[in-house]
Amino acid sequence: MRKFLIDTDTASDDAVAMCMAFRHPDVEVVACTVVAGNVPLPQAVQNALYTVELCGVDVPVYVGADRPMLRDLITAQEVHGEDGMGDIGLPLSGRTASDGWAPQVIIDTIRSNPGEITLVAIGPLTNVAIALLMAPDIAGLVERVVIMGGTGEHGPGNISPTAEFNFWVDPEAVRVILRSGMPLEFVGWDISIASAVVTTARQDQLRALGELGNFAIDIQATLQSYAWEETRLEGPDFPDPIAMAHAINPSPATVEHLGVDIAVGPDPMRGTLIVDHYGFSQLPKNVHVVTHYPEDAFFTMLYELLG
């Protein structure tokens, strides 16, 4: 069994990604750590606990950072709903997280399982950055770090013309991680809109799978409207699930090892990923950037795991 640690700001696409990991026969999710991002921290924790319960797994959920390292929190509730799960009336309250603080849990889990943990970060990177600042040694003890964030190959951004939401929320945290020496793999929003758009036909296929397939579509109610009206896609896209697909099976992906930095200055460049494709800036090669993940490979995995 491969050991995954999922760091999430649980909203509608995060929940689908979590279900994929929970359902994979070769993956043991040892913990979920939660960070503020898509929704405020208390709501993100409740959403994670609900998803764990729905999947019937025994995975501890830990509370983490309630705001970015140096900035005020700005959420994406206009995209995912006030509750982050499409505002469809799910009972998203009353559950209790496990004792422990997420950054310390990240440290302890990696140190206790040297060379064995795949850290899958699908929200702002605040928890991970705090853990690195507290314990820089974990950078060399983790097996893989798969991150949903940025726009590594094609653009555009989904919160500004050039920035993706997770990296825009806490760009200082991204910079800590980029300079940490961790074995980083980035799956950007550009990969999602190229290969993970859930068209009407794909929604029908997911609903035909039963409970989890219906859940995966129902909680996209707000995102579906946002996709049609704002991002002009054929349906909601699944950035966190396609990042999870890469974490589970990286073999279909096209990947380039590149030098990467991030803009931390004011808008309009805040959170923009700087990817040195041609070596102009002589950045050290610090990230394996996914430039393509085939949509057939992604959706085949998604249907199998939610079915």
Would you please indicate which residues are annotated as catalytic (active-site) residues? 9
CB of 198 closer than 8 Å to CB of 226: no
Output b/e per residue, 44-72; b: 16+ Cβ within 10 A.
bbbbbbbbbebbebebbbbbbbebbbebe
How far apart (Å, rounded) are the C-alpha atoms in residues 130 and 177? Answer: 10
Listed in sequence order, the residues at least 6 apart from 275 whose beta carbon sits closer than 8 Å to its beta carbon are 150, 152, 153, 258, 259, 260, 289
Asked if residue 212 lies in contact with residue 17, where contact means CB atoms within 8 angstroms, the answer is no
Distance CA 52, CA 301 (A): 20
Query: Taking a C-beta distance cutoff of 8 angstroms, is the pair 124, 170 a contact?
Result: yes
Residue 190 CA to residue 254 CA, distance in Å, equals 13
Nearest to 184 by CA among 133, 113, 125: 125
- Residue 215 phi, psi dihedral angles, 5° rounding: -60, -45
